[in-house]
Amino acid sequence: MKKLILTLITSLAFLSSGHAQELNCNVQINADMVQGANADLINSLQTAMTEFVNNRRWTEMAYTAQERIECTMNFIFKSIDGENFNGELTIQARRPVYNSSYYTTLFNFRDNNISFQFGQFDQLEANQSFIASNLTAILTYYVYIIIGYDMDSFARLGGTPYFQAAENIVNMAQSSDYSGWKAFEDSRNRYALISNLTDEAFKKYRNFFYEYHRLGLDEFSINIGNARARIAAGLPLLREANRARPSAIVVSSFLDAKNDELINIFSSATEQEKKDAVEILSDISPTNSARYEAILKN
């Protein structure tokens, strides 16, 4: 398990390459929608992004090979005009549950506003004082989001310095012409996500996120009943966060990652726990209420 004592790092952003890399990220590109796509350019882009994300040291924490964060970045390009790429990106991150072979999804998010320039022989470089390119800004932003989510699952509010690093990227990107970075242009963009994660109003949600994983899932091998009860006790906090900010992106993103898991957890719960879970989850996400009803049928 990672160390649970975190030190606020004075300069997180864009640390230089080195050992003990944090991510084991599978970067995939789908350009099937683009006729005549340059295969060599696509391969160069995939290699460059993979090396940028995985071969760089992003924190000052010591990771073993087994502790590297498992994640995927799946780019789907809708148009490629020369060196101009436009499309969407799906990001997922997971971590193992203590004393089991099960992996739980921490983060599941789709970014519909991916656009950048890349030439076949371009080198992806990061700089802490300015945005070198929109591609490196997007990659670095999501690296810190992934690390922040992972740390929040191991230590109470442990992801704060990494979310602050992601917020710094958003602030620097405000003057760019690229979409996805600005307030009010989209309620589910990069700005909206980091705004939620750094908002004091969502501190209770982030505490719940920690308790769900460290005091809930990680305790299942010790006492299933107590672990499930811990998760059940935190669900009202999830509803409270959603009511404070209806349709908040962090809440909907949490459910996108956890719906199947929550159904499995509560399908073998007590009748009262089942009833309460279905009522709360359906209140948070009415469109998924039919799925949650499956809990009561087991």
**DSSP for 143-176, written as a single string:** HHHHHHHHHHHHSTTTTHHHHHHHHHHHHHHTTS
Do 159 and 223 share a domain, yes or no?
no
User: Do the strands 69-81 and 23-30 form a parallel or antiparallel pair, or are they unpaired?
Assistant: parallel
Do 178 and 76 share a domain, yes or no?
yes
Do 112 and 193 share a domain, yes or no?
yes
**Is 3 contained in some domain?**
no
Do 208 and 178 share a domain, yes or no?
no
Do 35 and 118 share a domain, yes or no?
yes
Is the pLDDT score of 175 beyond 90?
A: no
Is the pLDDT score of 13 beyond 60?
A: no
Do 274 and 220 share a domain, yes or no?
yes
Q: Which residue range is the domain that position 209 belongs to?
A: 203-297
Q: How confident is the model at residue 4 (pLDDT cuts 50, 70, 90)?
A: very low
Report the range of poorest mean pLDDT among 74-78, 97-101, 181-185, 191-195: 181-185
Q: Strand, helix or coil at 256?
A: helix
Residue 20 confidence (pLDDT): 61
Q: What is the pTM of this model?
A: 0.92
Do 183 and 265 share a domain, yes or no?
no
Residue pointed to by tokens 């992004």: 49
Residue 62 confidence (pLDDT): 85
Do 208 and 147 share a domain, yes or no?
no
Do 169 and 71 share a domain, yes or no?
yes
What share of the chain has pLDDT > 90, as a percent?
83
Which of 198, 216, 233 is the C-terminal boundary of a domain? 198
